[in-house]
Protein backbone atom coordinates (compact mmCIF):
# COMPACT_ATOMS: atom_id res chain seq x y z
CA UNK A 1 0.00 0.00 0.00
CA UNK A 2 2.76 2.45 0.97
CA UNK A 3 4.53 1.82 -2.31
CA UNK A 4 1.50 3.04 -4.26
CA UNK A 5 1.34 6.21 -2.20
CA UNK A 6 4.69 7.37 -3.56
CA UNK A 7 4.46 10.00 -6.29
CA UNK A 8 6.12 9.22 -9.59
CA UNK A 9 8.77 11.88 -8.94
CA UNK A 10 9.52 10.63 -5.42
CA UNK A 11 9.72 7.04 -6.62
CA UNK A 12 12.09 8.01 -9.41
CA UNK A 13 14.29 9.89 -6.95
CA UNK A 14 14.35 6.91 -4.57
CA UNK A 15 15.31 4.48 -7.31
CA UNK A 16 17.96 6.86 -8.62
CA UNK A 17 19.56 7.26 -5.19
CA UNK A 18 19.67 3.50 -4.69
CA UNK A 19 21.28 3.08 -8.10
CA UNK A 20 23.76 5.91 -7.59
CA UNK A 21 24.85 4.62 -4.17
CA UNK A 22 26.95 2.15 -6.12
CA UNK A 23 30.16 3.22 -7.82
CA UNK A 24 29.45 4.15 -11.42
CA UNK A 25 31.91 4.01 -14.29
CA UNK A 26 33.00 7.29 -15.83
CA UNK A 27 31.07 6.91 -19.07
CA UNK A 28 27.71 6.50 -17.33
CA UNK A 29 27.44 10.22 -16.54
CA UNK A 30 30.48 11.80 -18.23
CA UNK A 31 32.18 12.32 -21.61
CA UNK A 32 35.65 13.51 -22.58
CA UNK A 33 35.27 17.18 -23.56
CA UNK A 34 38.76 17.87 -24.97
CA UNK A 35 42.30 16.49 -25.06
CA UNK A 36 41.25 12.87 -25.69
CA UNK A 37 44.83 11.61 -25.89
CA UNK A 38 45.53 12.86 -22.36
CA UNK A 39 42.60 11.04 -20.71
CA UNK A 40 43.16 7.50 -19.42
CA UNK A 41 40.57 5.15 -17.95
CA UNK A 42 41.51 2.73 -15.14
CA UNK A 43 39.73 0.09 -13.04
CA UNK A 44 36.95 -0.51 -15.56
CA UNK A 45 36.25 3.20 -15.79
CA UNK A 46 35.92 3.79 -12.05
CA UNK A 47 39.03 6.02 -12.15
CA UNK A 48 40.07 8.58 -14.75
CA UNK A 49 43.50 10.14 -15.15
CA UNK A 50 43.76 13.60 -16.69
CA UNK A 51 47.26 14.65 -17.74
CA UNK A 52 49.02 17.81 -18.88
CA UNK A 53 52.08 17.82 -21.13
CA UNK A 54 53.63 20.45 -23.39
CA UNK A 55 51.14 19.64 -26.12
CA UNK A 56 47.84 19.66 -24.28
CA UNK A 57 45.77 19.43 -21.17
CA UNK A 58 42.34 17.79 -21.14
CA UNK A 59 38.89 17.79 -19.62
CA UNK A 60 35.71 15.86 -18.94
CA UNK A 61 32.11 17.00 -18.56
CA UNK A 62 28.77 15.52 -17.56
CA UNK A 63 26.43 14.38 -20.30
CA UNK A 64 23.54 16.30 -18.76
CA UNK A 65 22.98 19.72 -17.21
CA UNK A 66 21.53 20.10 -13.74
CA UNK A 67 19.44 22.80 -12.08
CA UNK A 68 20.36 22.00 -8.46
CA UNK A 69 21.98 19.20 -6.53
CA UNK A 70 24.99 17.81 -4.72
CA UNK A 71 28.06 17.36 -6.91
CA UNK A 72 31.08 15.44 -5.66
CA UNK A 73 34.42 14.26 -6.99
CA UNK A 74 37.28 12.39 -5.37
CA UNK A 75 40.55 13.94 -6.55
CA UNK A 76 44.25 13.22 -6.14
CA UNK A 77 46.40 16.09 -7.38
CA UNK A 78 49.64 15.88 -9.40
CA UNK A 79 52.69 15.08 -7.29
CA UNK A 80 56.14 16.67 -7.27
CA UNK A 81 56.56 20.28 -8.37
CA UNK A 82 53.25 21.27 -9.97
CA UNK A 83 53.72 25.06 -10.09
CA UNK A 84 51.63 26.56 -12.89
CA UNK A 85 49.47 23.45 -13.28
CA UNK A 86 45.78 24.14 -12.68
CA UNK A 87 43.48 21.23 -11.80
CA UNK A 88 39.77 21.96 -11.58
CA UNK A 89 36.37 20.60 -10.63
CA UNK A 90 33.46 22.93 -11.38
CA UNK A 91 29.94 23.54 -12.66
CA UNK A 92 29.34 25.64 -15.80
CA UNK A 93 26.22 26.68 -17.71
CA UNK A 94 27.86 27.32 -21.13
CA UNK A 95 25.59 30.28 -21.84
CA UNK A 96 26.47 33.79 -23.03
CA UNK A 97 26.02 35.21 -19.52
CA UNK A 98 27.14 32.10 -17.72
CA UNK A 99 26.83 30.75 -14.21
CA UNK A 100 29.81 28.89 -12.78
CA UNK A 101 30.95 27.36 -9.47
CA UNK A 102 34.68 26.60 -9.24
CA UNK A 103 37.18 24.51 -7.36
CA UNK A 104 40.60 25.48 -8.79
CA UNK A 105 43.82 23.94 -7.44
CA UNK A 106 46.59 26.38 -8.30
CA UNK A 107 49.68 24.16 -8.27
CA UNK A 108 52.63 24.59 -5.92
CA UNK A 109 56.37 24.57 -5.68
CA UNK A 110 57.42 21.34 -4.01
CA UNK A 111 57.30 21.60 -0.24
CA UNK A 112 55.05 24.66 -0.20
CA UNK A 113 51.38 24.68 0.84
CA UNK A 114 48.69 23.78 -1.69
CA UNK A 115 46.26 26.57 -2.54
CA UNK A 116 42.60 25.98 -3.42
CA UNK A 117 40.67 28.79 -5.06
CA UNK A 118 36.88 28.92 -5.22
CA UNK A 119 34.82 31.29 -7.34
CA UNK A 120 31.17 32.03 -8.08
CA UNK A 121 29.83 33.40 -11.36
CA UNK A 122 26.22 34.54 -11.73
CA UNK A 123 24.80 35.84 -15.01
CA UNK A 124 28.32 36.32 -16.40
CA UNK A 125 29.70 38.18 -13.37
CA UNK A 126 32.51 36.57 -11.38
CA UNK A 127 35.47 38.16 -9.56
CA UNK A 128 34.41 36.43 -6.35
CA UNK A 129 37.63 34.56 -5.64
CA UNK A 130 38.50 33.14 -2.26
CA UNK A 131 41.64 31.11 -1.52
CA UNK A 132 42.51 28.72 1.26
CA UNK A 133 45.61 26.70 2.05
CA UNK A 134 44.73 23.03 2.36
CA UNK A 135 45.51 21.43 5.73
CA UNK A 136 46.69 18.17 4.16
CA UNK A 137 48.79 17.00 1.22
CA UNK A 138 46.28 16.51 -1.64
CA UNK A 139 48.82 14.59 -3.75
CA UNK A 140 49.21 11.51 -1.54
CA UNK A 141 45.59 10.34 -1.28
CA UNK A 142 42.17 10.98 -2.75
CA UNK A 143 40.05 13.60 -1.01
CA UNK A 144 36.39 14.55 -1.43
CA UNK A 145 35.42 17.90 -2.96
CA UNK A 146 31.75 18.74 -3.26
CA UNK A 147 29.29 21.53 -4.03
CA UNK A 148 25.80 21.69 -2.53
CA UNK A 149 23.55 23.94 -4.64
CA UNK A 150 19.96 24.79 -3.85
CA UNK A 151 17.87 27.95 -4.07
CA UNK A 152 18.97 29.08 -0.58
CA UNK A 153 22.71 28.56 -0.50
CA UNK A 154 25.77 27.19 -2.27
CA UNK A 155 28.28 25.40 -0.05
CA UNK A 156 31.76 24.24 -1.05
CA UNK A 157 33.01 21.26 1.00
CA UNK A 158 36.41 19.62 1.39
CA UNK A 159 36.14 16.19 3.03
CA UNK A 160 32.64 17.17 4.23
CA UNK A 161 34.00 20.34 5.90
CA UNK A 162 32.36 23.54 4.58
CA UNK A 163 34.99 26.00 3.38
CA UNK A 164 32.75 28.54 1.64
CA UNK A 165 29.09 29.55 1.79
CA UNK A 166 27.36 31.77 -0.77
CA UNK A 167 23.84 32.73 0.27
CA UNK A 168 20.93 33.64 -1.99
CA UNK A 169 20.04 37.10 -0.73
CA UNK A 170 17.69 39.43 -2.55
CA UNK A 171 19.51 41.86 -4.83
CA UNK A 172 22.65 39.81 -5.47
CA UNK A 173 23.58 37.62 -8.41
CA UNK A 174 22.84 33.96 -7.73
CA UNK A 175 23.47 31.01 -10.06
CA UNK A 176 20.17 29.70 -11.42
CA UNK A 177 20.96 28.31 -14.88
CA UNK A 178 21.35 24.57 -15.54
CA UNK A 179 25.03 23.63 -15.34
CA UNK A 180 27.25 20.72 -16.32
CA UNK A 181 29.74 19.10 -13.95
CA UNK A 182 33.29 19.31 -15.32
CA UNK A 183 36.94 18.63 -14.47
CA UNK A 184 40.11 19.73 -16.26
CA UNK A 185 43.89 20.04 -16.04
CA UNK A 186 45.64 22.82 -17.95
CA UNK A 187 48.54 25.28 -18.20
CA UNK A 188 47.89 28.25 -15.92
CA UNK A 189 51.47 29.37 -15.39
CA UNK A 190 50.73 32.97 -16.39
CA UNK A 191 48.73 33.53 -13.19
CA UNK A 192 48.13 30.50 -10.97
CA UNK A 193 51.19 29.96 -8.74
CA UNK A 194 52.74 32.94 -6.95
CA UNK A 195 50.75 35.24 -9.27
CA UNK A 196 52.45 33.78 -12.33
CA UNK A 197 56.04 34.04 -11.08
CA UNK A 198 56.38 30.26 -10.65
CA UNK A 199 56.45 28.67 -14.11
CA UNK A 200 55.87 25.04 -15.07
CA UNK A 201 58.87 22.72 -14.76
CA UNK A 202 58.23 20.60 -17.84
CA UNK A 203 60.85 18.05 -16.81
CA UNK A 204 58.20 16.76 -14.39
CA UNK A 205 55.58 16.26 -17.09
CA UNK A 206 53.24 14.66 -17.72
CA UNK A 207 51.37 16.03 -14.72
CA UNK A 208 48.65 13.57 -13.71
CA UNK A 209 45.47 14.29 -11.74
CA UNK A 210 43.32 11.32 -10.75
CA UNK A 211 39.54 11.39 -10.38
CA UNK A 212 37.04 8.97 -8.84
CA UNK A 213 33.35 9.08 -7.93
CA UNK A 214 31.29 9.76 -11.03
CA UNK A 215 27.89 9.54 -9.37
CA UNK A 216 25.80 12.71 -9.69
CA UNK A 217 22.89 13.60 -7.41
CA UNK A 218 21.37 16.49 -9.30
CA UNK A 219 18.11 17.67 -10.81
CA UNK A 220 18.29 16.90 -14.53
CA UNK A 221 15.67 16.60 -17.23
CA UNK A 222 15.23 12.98 -16.12
CA UNK A 223 13.38 14.16 -13.00
CA UNK A 224 9.75 15.07 -13.50
CA UNK A 225 10.18 17.72 -10.81
CA UNK A 226 10.91 21.42 -10.41
CA UNK A 227 14.61 21.70 -9.48
CA UNK A 228 13.65 23.69 -6.37
CA UNK A 229 11.21 21.01 -5.22
CA UNK A 230 11.54 19.98 -1.58
CA UNK A 231 11.05 16.38 -2.72
CA UNK A 232 14.74 16.50 -3.71
CA UNK A 233 16.88 15.84 -0.64
CA UNK A 234 19.34 18.69 -1.21
CA UNK A 235 16.39 21.11 -1.11
CA UNK A 236 15.19 19.93 2.31
CA UNK A 237 14.89 22.79 4.78
CA UNK A 238 17.77 21.45 6.86
CA UNK A 239 20.09 22.22 3.92
CA UNK A 240 19.06 25.89 3.70
CA UNK A 241 21.82 26.78 6.17
CA UNK A 242 24.73 25.10 7.92
CA UNK A 243 23.95 23.10 11.03
CA UNK A 244 25.64 23.91 14.32
CA UNK A 245 28.55 21.50 13.87
CA UNK A 246 29.13 22.62 10.27
CA UNK A 247 29.10 26.26 11.30
CA UNK A 248 31.75 25.59 13.94
CA UNK A 249 33.99 23.75 11.45
CA UNK A 250 33.41 26.47 8.86
CA UNK A 251 34.46 29.27 11.18
CA UNK A 252 37.51 27.31 12.32
CA UNK A 253 38.75 26.67 8.76
CA UNK A 254 38.08 30.26 7.74
CA UNK A 255 40.02 31.66 10.67
CA UNK A 256 43.07 29.43 10.14
CA UNK A 257 43.33 28.68 6.43
CA UNK A 258 41.91 31.49 4.30
CA UNK A 259 44.62 33.53 2.59
CA UNK A 260 42.55 35.68 0.22
CA UNK A 261 38.96 36.93 0.26
CA UNK A 262 37.64 39.25 -2.42
CA UNK A 263 35.23 40.69 0.15
CA UNK A 264 38.20 42.27 1.94
CA UNK A 265 40.12 43.42 -1.13
CA UNK A 266 39.63 47.18 -1.08
CA UNK A 267 42.24 47.64 -3.83
CA UNK A 268 39.97 45.81 -6.28
CA UNK A 269 36.64 47.01 -4.94
CA UNK A 270 36.08 50.59 -3.82
CA UNK A 271 32.62 49.52 -2.74
CA UNK A 272 32.32 46.20 -0.94
CA UNK A 273 30.29 43.76 -3.10
CA UNK A 274 26.70 43.60 -1.92
CA UNK A 275 26.78 39.89 -1.04
CA UNK A 276 29.71 40.54 1.33
CA UNK A 277 27.54 42.84 3.44
CA UNK A 278 24.87 40.23 4.15
Containing H/E element for 87?
A: strand 85-92
Catalytic residue among 46, 47, 104, 129: 104
Q: Is 100 a catalytic residue?
A: yes
Query: Using CA atoms, how far apart are residues 47 and 7, in angstroms rounded to an integer?
Result: 35
Residue 236 burial (10 A CB sphere; 0-12, 13-18, 19+):
exposed
Catalytic residue among 100, 189, 217, 275: 100
Containing H/E element for 212?
A: strand 207-212
Give the residue numbers marked as catalytic. 100, 104
Amino acid sequence: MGFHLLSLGALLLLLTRVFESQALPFDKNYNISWGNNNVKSLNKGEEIQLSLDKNSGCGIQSKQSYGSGSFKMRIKLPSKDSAGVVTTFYLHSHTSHHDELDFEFLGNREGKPHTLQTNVFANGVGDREQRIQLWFDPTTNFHDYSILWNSHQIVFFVDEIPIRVYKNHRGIGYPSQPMQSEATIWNGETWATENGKAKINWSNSPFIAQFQGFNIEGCSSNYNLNCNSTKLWWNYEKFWKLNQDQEKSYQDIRSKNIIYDYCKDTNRFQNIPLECLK
